[in-house]
Copies of this chain bind each other. A is one copy, B any other.
């Protein structure tokens, strides 16, 4: 069906179109790549490729442009991920290493990725549900008010102000804190509800009321905050790419957390790349854009995902290389801190 030469032609079309952003014709192809055959032959191949939906002509008598299906084939079979240069790896490493807390790690990561790929970068905060509790703190703020602070092993900190039903002395708070910590230290977040279920019963009766109040907020925090936080950067790169049409839609999508979440896609393996091309996206405003995403995490658990979004005609090998590399380094940083 598709012999080697036709595949070579498709690859050449994708590469040329990506770099020039203009429909590519048979003449230009034979000039720039030495395919060893004449333009006429190429034309036949092109006709075949078009027949099968891998390329199309914007107008009669213009060059050919890859379709989403064409890009898909290119990504799956015709290209290999391009590793970063040594210098780039170095840059990533030093840039990320300077971060002092989770916020900054995420912030730097998203900027780095945007700069590296010259596209819009998207990074999801390490998810709560897959991490575990490192410490629980209860801080008295006022007579009947405490702040609950939750620190996870990924460095994420959640805080809630809680109004208590009664005055509680500081030592009772201290006691409660100690009990909570001994129960929950290292506990996976998904395990918290059952771990905590019978806890009030093990406390002296006078503390139960307070414990119940605090625990309910704690659980609520875990569940509600399941809606994960996502940040993006590099929107200016969108304007640079000759997007023009649909830019509006893309910007809108970027500001919708929910859409972004779905774009990053469901789980794959760590550092395993997911590529969504044009119409494969689950959002109509993003026809014309592709997403390259990967999971990242410490150890072998995927904590969250990150990726970039750009025009369908992006340089996939390079972009994929950058995304994979950044995902790996972030994983390392998270594991180390």
Contact = CB atoms under 8 A, between A and B. Distances in A.
A233 B255 contact: yes
Contacts of A252: 236
A255 B234 contact: yes
A251 interface: yes
Contact of A139 (B137, B147, B239): B137
A97 to B, nearest CB: 13
Interface string A251-269: 1101100000000000000
A240 B248 contact: yes
Copies of this protein chain in the complex:
2
A141 interface: yes
Nearest to A147: B151
A101 B151 contact: no
A158 B157 CA distance: 9
A158 to B, nearest CB: 8
Contacts of A247: 239, 247
A134 interface: yes
Interface of A: 100-102, 134-135, 137, 139, 141, 147, 149, 151, 155, 157-161, 233-236, 238-240, 247-248, 251-252, 254-255, 337
A251 B233 contact: no
Contacts of A251: 235-236, 238-239
A251 B159 CA distance: 32
A337 B236 contact: no
A139 B151 contact: yes
A236 B251 CA distance: 5
